[in-house]
Protein backbone atom coordinates (compact mmCIF):
# COMPACT_ATOMS: atom_id res chain seq x y z
CA UNK A 1 0.00 0.00 0.00
CA UNK A 2 1.30 3.40 -1.03
CA UNK A 3 -1.15 6.05 0.15
CA UNK A 4 -0.31 9.50 -1.18
CA UNK A 5 -2.31 12.64 -0.28
CA UNK A 6 -3.95 13.97 -3.43
CA UNK A 7 -7.10 15.97 -4.27
CA UNK A 8 -10.14 13.74 -4.76
CA UNK A 9 -13.46 14.85 -6.19
CA UNK A 10 -16.83 13.83 -7.56
CA UNK A 11 -20.01 15.73 -8.32
CA UNK A 12 -20.79 16.55 -4.70
CA UNK A 13 -17.51 17.09 -2.86
CA UNK A 14 -13.87 17.85 -3.36
CA UNK A 15 -11.40 16.52 -0.80
CA UNK A 16 -8.24 18.61 -0.60
CA UNK A 17 -5.19 17.67 1.47
CA UNK A 18 -5.47 19.93 4.50
CA UNK A 19 -3.35 23.08 4.31
CA UNK A 20 -3.11 26.50 5.90
CA UNK A 21 -5.46 27.86 3.23
CA UNK A 22 -8.25 25.72 4.74
CA UNK A 23 -7.76 26.91 8.31
CA UNK A 24 -10.25 29.78 8.36
CA UNK A 25 -12.98 27.80 6.62
CA UNK A 26 -12.52 24.79 8.88
CA UNK A 27 -12.65 26.96 11.99
CA UNK A 28 -15.99 28.40 10.89
CA UNK A 29 -17.32 24.92 10.08
CA UNK A 30 -16.36 23.30 13.39
CA UNK A 31 -17.81 26.19 15.39
CA UNK A 32 -21.16 25.79 13.64
CA UNK A 33 -21.95 22.99 16.13
CA UNK A 34 -19.95 23.67 19.28
CA UNK A 35 -22.01 21.29 21.46
CA UNK A 36 -21.13 18.17 19.46
CA UNK A 37 -17.47 18.30 20.54
CA UNK A 38 -18.41 17.89 24.19
CA UNK A 39 -20.89 15.12 23.48
CA UNK A 40 -19.30 12.82 20.93
CA UNK A 41 -15.67 13.54 20.02
CA UNK A 42 -12.44 12.48 21.76
CA UNK A 43 -10.91 15.92 21.07
CA UNK A 44 -12.47 19.34 20.64
CA UNK A 45 -12.10 21.72 17.72
CA UNK A 46 -14.48 24.35 19.09
CA UNK A 47 -13.59 27.83 20.32
CA UNK A 48 -10.25 28.08 22.09
CA UNK A 49 -9.52 24.41 21.34
CA UNK A 50 -9.20 25.07 17.62
CA UNK A 51 -5.64 26.41 17.52
CA UNK A 52 -3.96 23.62 19.53
CA UNK A 53 -5.99 20.91 17.78
CA UNK A 54 -5.06 22.39 14.39
CA UNK A 55 -1.39 22.44 15.39
CA UNK A 56 -1.48 18.79 16.46
CA UNK A 57 -3.23 17.76 13.26
CA UNK A 58 -0.74 19.52 11.03
CA UNK A 59 2.22 18.23 13.04
CA UNK A 60 0.94 14.65 12.78
CA UNK A 61 0.37 15.12 9.05
CA UNK A 62 3.88 16.49 8.55
CA UNK A 63 5.27 13.46 10.37
CA UNK A 64 3.30 11.12 8.10
CA UNK A 65 1.10 9.71 10.87
CA UNK A 66 -2.14 11.01 9.36
CA UNK A 67 -3.48 12.41 6.10
CA UNK A 68 -6.22 14.97 6.80
CA UNK A 69 -8.51 16.29 4.09
CA UNK A 70 -10.64 19.42 3.95
CA UNK A 71 -14.14 18.58 2.72
CA UNK A 72 -15.20 21.22 0.21
CA UNK A 73 -18.81 21.57 -0.96
CA UNK A 74 -20.47 24.60 -2.42
CA UNK A 75 -16.97 26.06 -2.85
CA UNK A 76 -16.44 26.28 0.90
CA UNK A 77 -14.91 24.10 3.59
CA UNK A 78 -17.74 22.22 5.29
CA UNK A 79 -15.77 19.66 7.27
CA UNK A 80 -12.83 17.36 7.69
CA UNK A 81 -12.04 13.67 7.24
CA UNK A 82 -8.75 11.88 7.83
CA UNK A 83 -6.71 8.78 7.13
CA UNK A 84 -5.33 7.45 10.44
CA UNK A 85 -3.31 4.41 11.49
CA UNK A 86 -1.65 4.22 8.09
CA UNK A 87 0.03 0.79 8.08
CA UNK A 88 1.68 0.01 4.70
CA UNK A 89 3.25 -3.33 5.73
CA UNK A 90 -0.19 -4.66 6.63
CA UNK A 91 -2.02 -2.76 3.87
CA UNK A 92 -4.39 -1.29 6.43
CA UNK A 93 -5.70 2.19 7.11
CA UNK A 94 -8.42 3.84 9.18
CA UNK A 95 -10.81 6.58 8.07
CA UNK A 96 -11.88 8.83 10.92
CA UNK A 97 -11.83 12.24 12.51
CA UNK A 98 -14.81 13.12 10.35
CA UNK A 99 -16.97 16.16 11.00
CA UNK A 100 -19.44 18.02 8.80
CA UNK A 101 -21.18 21.32 9.32
CA UNK A 102 -24.81 20.65 10.41
CA UNK A 103 -26.34 21.84 7.15
CA UNK A 104 -24.29 19.26 5.23
CA UNK A 105 -25.34 16.21 7.24
CA UNK A 106 -27.82 13.66 5.97
CA UNK A 107 -27.28 14.36 2.25
CA UNK A 108 -24.71 13.41 -0.38
CA UNK A 109 -21.62 14.84 1.33
CA UNK A 110 -20.76 11.95 3.66
CA UNK A 111 -21.33 9.05 1.24
CA UNK A 112 -19.49 11.00 -1.47
CA UNK A 113 -16.52 11.77 0.78
CA UNK A 114 -16.31 8.21 2.08
CA UNK A 115 -16.57 6.84 -1.47
CA UNK A 116 -13.59 8.95 -2.46
CA UNK A 117 -11.55 8.03 0.62
CA UNK A 118 -12.16 4.30 0.35
CA UNK A 119 -11.66 4.27 -3.40
CA UNK A 120 -8.35 6.05 -2.97
CA UNK A 121 -7.24 3.64 -0.24
CA UNK A 122 -8.11 0.47 -2.12
CA UNK A 123 -6.60 1.78 -5.35
CA UNK A 124 -3.43 2.48 -3.36
CA UNK A 125 -3.26 -1.19 -2.36
CA UNK A 126 -5.16 -1.31 0.94
CA UNK A 127 -6.46 -4.69 2.04
CA UNK A 128 -8.50 -3.29 4.94
CA UNK A 129 -10.18 0.06 5.65
CA UNK A 130 -11.37 0.46 9.22
CA UNK A 131 -13.63 2.84 11.14
CA UNK A 132 -13.56 3.44 14.91
CA UNK A 133 -16.69 5.08 16.35
CA UNK A 134 -17.66 6.16 19.85
CA UNK A 135 -20.33 3.72 21.01
CA UNK A 136 -22.55 6.65 22.02
CA UNK A 137 -22.42 8.13 18.52
CA UNK A 138 -25.46 6.39 17.12
CA UNK A 139 -25.62 8.66 14.06
CA UNK A 140 -22.08 7.75 12.99
CA UNK A 141 -22.56 4.07 13.74
CA UNK A 142 -25.62 3.99 11.51
CA UNK A 143 -23.82 5.95 8.79
CA UNK A 144 -20.86 3.54 8.75
CA UNK A 145 -23.16 0.53 8.53
CA UNK A 146 -25.05 2.25 5.72
CA UNK A 147 -21.76 2.57 3.84
CA UNK A 148 -21.55 -1.22 3.85
CA UNK A 149 -18.98 -1.75 6.61
CA UNK A 150 -19.06 -4.80 8.89
CA UNK A 151 -19.15 -4.28 12.65
CA UNK A 152 -16.39 -6.37 14.18
CA UNK A 153 -16.83 -5.67 17.86
CA UNK A 154 -16.65 -3.16 20.69
CA UNK A 155 -13.51 -2.23 22.59
CA UNK A 156 -14.70 -1.56 26.12
CA UNK A 157 -13.30 1.49 27.93
CA UNK A 158 -11.02 2.03 24.97
CA UNK A 159 -9.99 5.65 25.47
CA UNK A 160 -10.57 8.76 27.50
CA UNK A 161 -12.06 11.75 25.75
CA UNK A 162 -10.96 15.33 26.32
CA UNK A 163 -13.86 15.81 28.77
CA UNK A 164 -12.68 12.90 30.93
CA UNK A 165 -15.38 10.48 29.78
CA UNK A 166 -14.07 6.98 29.10
CA UNK A 167 -15.62 5.72 25.90
CA UNK A 168 -16.30 2.34 24.35
CA UNK A 169 -15.22 2.16 20.70
CA UNK A 170 -17.05 0.25 17.98
CA UNK A 171 -14.79 -1.20 15.26
CA UNK A 172 -15.99 -1.57 11.67
CA UNK A 173 -14.14 -2.59 8.51
CA UNK A 174 -14.41 -3.12 4.78
CA UNK A 175 -12.02 -5.56 3.14
CA UNK A 176 -10.56 -5.40 -0.34
CA UNK A 177 -12.61 -8.43 -1.39
CA UNK A 178 -15.79 -6.71 -0.18
CA UNK A 179 -15.05 -3.36 -1.79
CA UNK A 180 -16.42 -3.96 -5.31
CA UNK A 181 -19.91 -4.76 -4.00
CA UNK A 182 -19.74 -1.97 -1.42
CA UNK A 183 -18.53 0.46 -4.09
CA UNK A 184 -21.33 -0.41 -6.49
CA UNK A 185 -24.02 0.05 -3.83
CA UNK A 186 -22.44 3.32 -2.74
CA UNK A 187 -22.25 4.58 -6.32
CA UNK A 188 -25.94 3.81 -6.80
CA UNK A 189 -26.79 5.60 -3.57
CA UNK A 190 -24.84 8.69 -4.60
CA UNK A 191 -26.34 8.66 -8.10
CA UNK A 192 -29.80 8.75 -6.53
CA UNK A 193 -29.08 12.28 -5.28
CA UNK A 194 -28.98 13.39 -8.92
CA UNK A 195 -26.54 15.63 -10.74
CA UNK A 196 -25.08 18.58 -8.87
CA UNK A 197 -22.85 21.39 -10.11
CA UNK A 198 -19.42 21.93 -8.59
CA UNK A 199 -19.35 19.97 -5.35
CA UNK A 200 -22.83 20.47 -4.08
CA UNK A 201 -23.62 24.11 -4.83
Question: Residues of the chain whose pLDDT is less than 70?
Answer: 195-201
- Whether residue 132 lies inside any domain: the answer is yes
Residue 172 lies in a domain: yes
State the pLDDT at residue 199.
Answer: 46
Q: Is 188 helix (H, G, I), strand (E, B) or coil?
A: helix
User: CA distances (Å), 100 to each of 26, 148, 166, 196, in order?
Assistant: 10, 20, 24, 19
Residue 43 lies in a domain: yes
pLDDT at position 154: 96
The total number of structural domains in the chain stands at 1
Q: Are β-strands 92-100 and 128-134 bridged in parallel, bridged antiparallel, or unpaired?
A: parallel
Kindly report the CATH number assigned to the domain that includes residue 111.
3.40.630.30
Domain that holds residue 127: 8-191
Answer whether residue 201 is part of any domain.
no
- Domain-embedded: residue 3: no
Q: What's the confidence (pLDDT) of residue 106?
A: 84
Residues forming beta bridges with residue 93, ordered by sequence position: 129
pLDDT at 53: 95
Does residue 48 sit within a domain?
yes
Q: What is the DSSP letter of 90?
A: G
Query: Residue 154, SS3?
Result: strand
Give the count of beta carbons closer than 10 Å to the beta carbon of residue 2.
8
Q: Is residue 2 part of a domain?
A: no
Identify whether 175 is part of a domain: yes
What is the structure's pLDDT at 195?
61
Amino acid sequence: MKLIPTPLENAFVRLEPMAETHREGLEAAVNADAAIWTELYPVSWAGAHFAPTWSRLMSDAAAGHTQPYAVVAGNEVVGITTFYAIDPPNAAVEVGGTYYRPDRRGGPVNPSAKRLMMGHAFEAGARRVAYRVDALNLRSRAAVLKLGAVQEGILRQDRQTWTGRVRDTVIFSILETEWPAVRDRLDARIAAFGASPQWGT
